[in-house]
Structure 1
Amino acid sequence: MSRKVVRSSKYRHVFGQALKADQCYDDIRISQNTWDSNFCAVNPVFIAMIVEASGGGAFMVLPLSKCGRIDKAQPLVCGHTAVVLDIEWCPHNDHIIASGSEDCTVMIWEIPEGGLTRPLTDALVTLEGHSKRVGIIAWHPTVSQIGCDNVIIVWNVSTAEKVIVMDNVHTDTIYSVCWNHNGSRILTSCKDKKLRVIEPRKNTLIMEKEKPHEGSRPVRAIFLTDGKILTTGFGKMSERQVALWDT
């Protein structure tokens, strides 16, 4: 009977030094949802975290300076009717944040100066167009638009209108979405084990790479500023991998 070889982590003897309690955010009930996306988002002013909440989905927004133990009565952003899966700050306005949820909507929120003093339930804009949960949000880097899920929709946030709908490119769940530096291309990684580069304005597939990593676990991919692609994933033996690709 053969024994399966499991490689030891090369980082098993590396230990970090935790900050002092008064420099940490403590006593926050982070979401236990297993959806593979960002539960935390930060910008130069605020930190936002998806949290456990009854009766729908919610996330917490704190000024970066508000460290230490967080009051259990801290106001939340709580307008979704189901679990929040992803949050992303607008790159053009530090007080605007988008949230995607299992309720199939994207909501755009404005956080007041200094943070929340009461629960925020009314979104600036609600984007309705997905028939399944919205698990990935990515702001356009140069224009205030947004896209998400395994049907990719590019929205004009200011008018709540769909600009582009890409519903025939991906055969399965999308694991990551990334715009390039000027917003002319979209890079995606998918459960079908393919990387895709898409030209959104023409709704066409520019290039495709099968199995950037051999392992079965999710692959993440981002554009670098020089146009190359950086991916993270796993090999056949479940070892972590990072790869750099020339498009």
Structure 2
Amino acid sequence: MTVSVLRFHRVQLQRWILPWIVPIALIIVWEILADIGWIPVRILPAPSAIFWAGIQLAQSGELWSHLGISAARAATGFFIGASLGLTLGFINGILPIAETLLDSSLQMLRNIPNLALIPLVILWFGIGEEAKIFLVMLGVFFPVYLNTFHGIRNIDPSLLEMGRVYGLNRLQLITNIILPGALPSILVGVRFSLGIAWITLIVSETIATDSGLGYMAMNAREFMQTDIIVFSILLYALLGKLSDGIAKTLEFRLLQWHPNFQSGSKDTYPVAKV
């Protein structure tokens, strides 16, 4: 194997292993403190107890049922919200008249906390799936919209002028210059919105629902099952980490042309040059 291939594999190994060092170290310290009694079981069970609670939920099938429902809600809300945010971000970024007509209204809506709309959303949609998906969609929409709009507006005008000089039409300018130039900013919005999607889903599933990970945690609270409550919280954290890892991989694949994301160009994560 060549030196460049070995370096690439080392970079990939670092990308997957290094982010887990701190969480694993915290879990080990947590287990030790719980075993020696410094952390009361009633307040925070040991990681081993939480692990066995998760095993029991998995064996009973309850975990997979709630997990599948929550994942479907998050994916549906994210897809709708990201699609709308990307579309309106492109329209407002490319067409000044669209920005004049729509952007001010969208900014006013952005300043309304989406979770503050829960009572109104329940009146609109009831307590079914539509309410939860709508809240997730609303939380996802604005990060994608703002980053798409920002990415388009920060493209170097000289690149657009050069494209026109070479005879590119509007569609070619969009596909060859505007979209690649805005893509790093768009992917930042995607990563940010994934976290918001899970946060919104957690809250929406704890209110007037009978399924999902949030419901599982609230039901455990009624029976003082602290291990299941903490397990549900950690599961949300792991799902958020998994979502972020998928987004980072997508970012790494789609931005191979970018100097900061070229494979093997750095031994660690790409950093900005200063």
Give me the TM-score of the superposition, normalised by structure 1. Answer: 0.23
Q: Which has the higher contact order (CA 8 A, sep 6+)?
A: 2
Based on CA coordinates, which of the two structures has the bigger radius of gyration?
2
- Pick the structure with more helix per residue: 2
